[in-house]
Amino acid sequence: MMRLLRIVIIGMLLLACALHHTWSGRRVYNYGKYFANQPYLQQIGMPSQLKLPETGLIVAVIDIGMDLSHPAYKNKLIENDFRGESAIYPEDEACLAHGTAVASLIAAESREMIGIAPNVKLLPVCIGVPNPKGYEDIATTYYKMEPKDFIKLAQDPDKLKRFKEFAEARKKIILKNCANAIRYAVDHGAKVINMSFTTLQDTQYIADAVRYAASKGVVLVAGTGNSGNEGIGYPAKFKEVIAVGGVDENDVWWYEEKQLEGIPIPIRQGSNYGDGIDVVAPCCNLLHAFPTQLSDTIYQTTGCGTSLATSLATPLVTGLAALILSLNPTLSVEEVKQLIIMGCDDLGDAGWDHKYGYGRFNVGKTLTLMKK
């Protein structure tokens, strides 16, 4: 009898420990206190509070570089040894800013801002700046070039010819490194991969890597592109990828033209649209992290600023995919995608349309669907 009682007591203690572990493994995140700084959180239906599991789910961010010491997310980073082939890694704004912004929109947690999924771990897979042999002089300046620099370049036939040769060599390096980065992320435990990059070329490198990731149950998210044209880029165009377009603060398709000094024609930019687009997300004037070594004293103080592009819409949806899997890791890639689609607020024409896909994603609605 005493032995039976002892077994019952031990069982109750083990159950209590298990219950305590489950409870202590969740944490309440207060999104509401960031609504003033980040109005897009309310636009996407973000609940004011969420109790999230600290599962350590890994989200990979594939980009050219990132400020790995930024306080907004530095404690969430997973160290890794990935290096792009034939690439350099400059420690400057032009190389670091894009990846820093993307990472913060997914998982930041600081005084100034919060990411969509602050409970996850980030795997920064940085491909660097392409440095093709024989074009090293161009490689170190290309990624800093502004529109006026390209106009000037076009006026010199010899320089333009060499630049086109460089661009072709650069493209091959980027595509190969992006494909290698996708495979690396999958093999190092990523469950969601953010791809805030686009190319018009359907290459076997990227196609094979995307299919490999999907076959391993990894959710892939990519932006449609920023030229404002019909026709979305790759990898977003692959059926295995959630393709994300952009809208402004009023849920209107993002498009604008700017007249820049010294450039005879307007510079147009906007969210690419067309067959294959799945959802849209806010992409204008989003608060996000900037590299802390910038010379601007405001950015040095807060580490934050604002900008726009579908590159910024993409990590918002990536964040939701990460939330879904952290709450239910048994879901398939297709189930995650359908939950995001079914939770959308329909925009434009009823149902799917070329500019908005199935609509602007809504965190609250998708999480509610998960409870049914």
Residues sharing a CB contact under 8 Å with residue 275, sequence separation 6 or more, in sequence order: 232, 354
C-beta separation of 195 from 179 below 8 A: no
Pick the catalytic residue from 104, 196, 271, 311: 311
Backbone phi, psi, residue 42, to 5°:
-70, -35
Direct distance between the N- and C-terminal alpha carbons of the chain, in angstroms, rounded to an integer: 45
Using alpha carbons, select from 275, 232, 227 the residue that is nearest to residue 254: 227
Using alpha carbons, select from 255, 274, 268 the residue that is nearest to residue 356: 274
Using alpha carbons, select from 166, 165, 184 the residue that is nearest to residue 176: 184
Pick the catalytic residue from 63, 67, 110, 288: 63
Q: Measure the CA–CA gap between 34 and 283, rounded to whole angstroms.
A: 17
Pick the catalytic residue from 98, 110, 196, 278: 98
Residue 217 — left, alpha, or beta (φ > 0 → left; ψ -120 to 50 → alpha)? left
Q: Measure the CA–CA gap between 157 and 61, rounded to whole angstroms.
A: 38
Active site residue 311: yes
Q: Measure the CA–CA gap between 212 and 209, rounded to whole angstroms.
A: 5
Residue 321 CA, chain-centre distance (Å), reads 11
Active site residue 137: no
Identify the sign of the CA torsion 240, 310, 59, 107: negative
Active site residue 346: no
Q: At what angle do helices 93-107 and 310-327 cross, to 10 degrees?
A: 40
Active site residues: 63, 98, 311
